[in-house]
Amino acid sequence: MLAEHTEGLFCPAGGFHIDPWGAVERAVITHAHGDHARPGSRAYLCASPSKPLLERRLGSDATIESLPYGERLALGNISLSFHPAGHILGSAQVRIEGPQGVSVVSGDYKRASDPTCTLFEVVPCDTFVTESTFGLPIYRWDATETVITEILEWWEHNARHSMASLLFCYTIGKAQRLLAELARVTDRPVLVHGMMSASIEAYRSAGIPMLQTIPLIDQPRGTSFAGELVLAPLSARGTPWMRRLGDHSDAFASGLMRVRGVRRQRAYDRGFVISDHADWPAILQTITESGAGRVLATHGHAEPLAKFLAEQGYETGTIRTAWEGEAGSDEE
Ligand SMILES: [Zn+2]
Ligand SMILES: [Zn+2]
């Protein structure tokens, strides 16, 4: 039911590619991150809440259709539907039902609750294509509340020392999740790098409650940022923009911060382990709950995950992607 093409994963019966990296006739998109939604295809189809983010990424010329979660669309002799993946706003698993059974392509997903998107839905299937960005046993996430408390304490500690707190995070998804989670524990506004404003606005338009944000660029020269929390994309690190902050502590919020070597190598003052991807136990839980007998791993640590699953008796394989790992991939 699914074949690997040079442009990406292809469903011959339905005549569409899923998250192709090349230009195709019909692209079905799991979510609006740059490693899944590439420009140049003739027509796009996504889950309804993903559409505003996809329009922003692909531009107003792109032909984008959308389908509400759970609604079925007949294409050739298969039926296609989107189901919540819990990764970012509008993220979806693609369910394909045909004469050979049901296949589900997860896209990126997580199982932890997230106030910015619909909770992951378990979709029973015969073949499950799972992401494996953090598909190694070392990856285990703490409860989100614990990490949010750590961030708040870091911010308050820096404020007591008249320092700004500069928190790097991905522009789409992570930034909004942090702003929504922090809104549960504080009502202080947060300063944001200009590159984040548009995606934050897209989430606000979708009705997601988040802390008030202030574009840092609008602040007059000479403004002190002591005591403030500032969100910025990784690409701002080391740029002259940072000089405006004055004395500050920096941190990165990512699942990658679970790895001591990465923390040390990148030399952030702090690393907050919070990810929009499933950790190792969540990947295995999801595979079990799907009921699939055949599991294909993609996007990250596909080989070790497939090997582990083969040892557990699953029929397995890997699917190549043009993008590997979280680093850089979800960054604009
Ligand atoms: Zn993603
Ligand atoms: Zn991804």
- Sign of the CA dihedral with 43 first, then 97, 326, and 169 last: positive
Residue 134: nearest ligand to its CA?
2
Distance 156 CA to ligand 2 centre (A): 32
Residue 322's pLDDT band, with cuts at 50, 70 and 90, is confident
On the question of pLDDT at 326 being above 80, the answer is no
42-51, 241-250, 260-269: the lowest-pLDDT one: 260-269
Distance 75 CA to ligand 2 centre (A): 26
On the question of pLDDT at 246 being above 90, the answer is yes
Distance 247 CA to ligand 1 centre (A): 33
- Sign of the CA dihedral with 243 first, then 249, 253, and 259 last: positive
Of the chain, the percentage scoring pLDDT greater than 70 comes to 97
On the question of pLDDT at 1 being above 90, the answer is no
Distance 1 CA to ligand 2 centre (A): 22
Residue 330's pLDDT band, with cuts at 50, 70 and 90, is very low
137 DSSP assignment? T
Arithmetic mean of pLDDT over the chain: 94
Distance 38 CA to ligand 1 centre (A): 13
Distance 107 CA to ligand 1 centre (A): 8
The pTM for the full model equals 0.95
**Phi, psi for residue 93 in degrees, rounded to 5:** -90, 145
Residue 127's pLDDT band, with cuts at 50, 70 and 90, is very high
Nearest to 112 by CA among 141, 79, 150, 138: 141
For 186-204, write each residue's pLDDT tens digit: 999 999 999 999 999 999 9
For 142-152, write each residue's pLDDT tens digit: 999 999 999 99
Residue 174: nearest ligand to its CA?
1
Report pLDDT for 321. Answer: 81
Beta-strand relationship, 248-253 and 164-168: parallel
Query: Could you give the CA distance from residue 182 to residue 211 in angstroms, rounded to a whole number?
Result: 7
For 143-184, write each residue's pLDDT tens digit: 999 999 999 999 999 999 999 999 999 999 999 999 999 999
Distance 36 CA to ligand 2 centre (A): 6
Interval 52-60 mean pLDDT: 94
> What type of residue sits at position 135?
G
Residue 329: nearest ligand to its CA?
2
Residue 298: nearest ligand to its CA?
2
Report pLDDT for 263. Answer: 79
Distance 141 CA to ligand 2 centre (A): 18
Distance 210 CA to ligand 2 centre (A): 24
Report pLDDT for 324. Answer: 55
Is residue 3 helix, strand or coil?
A: strand
